[in-house]
Structure 1
Amino acid sequence: MPGPTRDLNIMTRRGRANATVTVLSPGQAALTITKADPLVIVCLDGSATLQTADTSITIGPGDVAELDEPVRTTGDGHLAVIRVETLAPAD
């Protein structure tokens, strides 16, 4: 595949946090994403509107949003949804 590439790396400290990444495809019905600790959304292409209880923003390719509450998404872009879970300290 010719052309530039992009990497999205998520790094957490082992034993302190876990991260998951889910890619949402365009054309999916509006989706509500539950809160995470933190919740990061990266627009990979196209655009998406992110709506919380108080705010609505539109993001485009390469834009990143960090949220601390549930969000509803709509739009035609691929979104990488990153959830970081902070782990309880070991006794």
Structure 2
Amino acid sequence: MLGNLNGWHLLIVLAVILLLFGAAKLPALAKSMGQSARVFRSEMKEMKRDDEAATPEVPRATESGTASSVTPEKRPSSDTSA
């Protein structure tokens, strides 16, 4: 979708932004955009760290293909006779 944009398109977009916001407000706008991007990146890193901490470590499989430290789950038997 945005792959067809070239240098002239970018120049026109920048000119429209300059006309809308004015030269005096552009530095403040750029600063707030930079701060927003910084906060977004830090939050994304925090979420990745939380996901890594919450994910349990999967035991490595041995050469025979079975995990050495994994025990089978104990399920109640489906036998209903008492």
TM-score range, shorter chain: under 0.3
TM-score calculated relative to the size of structure 2: 0.18
TM, length-normalised to structure 1: 0.17
More strand by share: 1
Q: Which has the larger radius of gyration?
A: 2
The answer to which structure, 1 or 2, has the higher relative contact order (CA under 8 A, 6+ apart) is 1
Query: When you count helix as a share of all residues, which structure comes out higher?
Result: 2
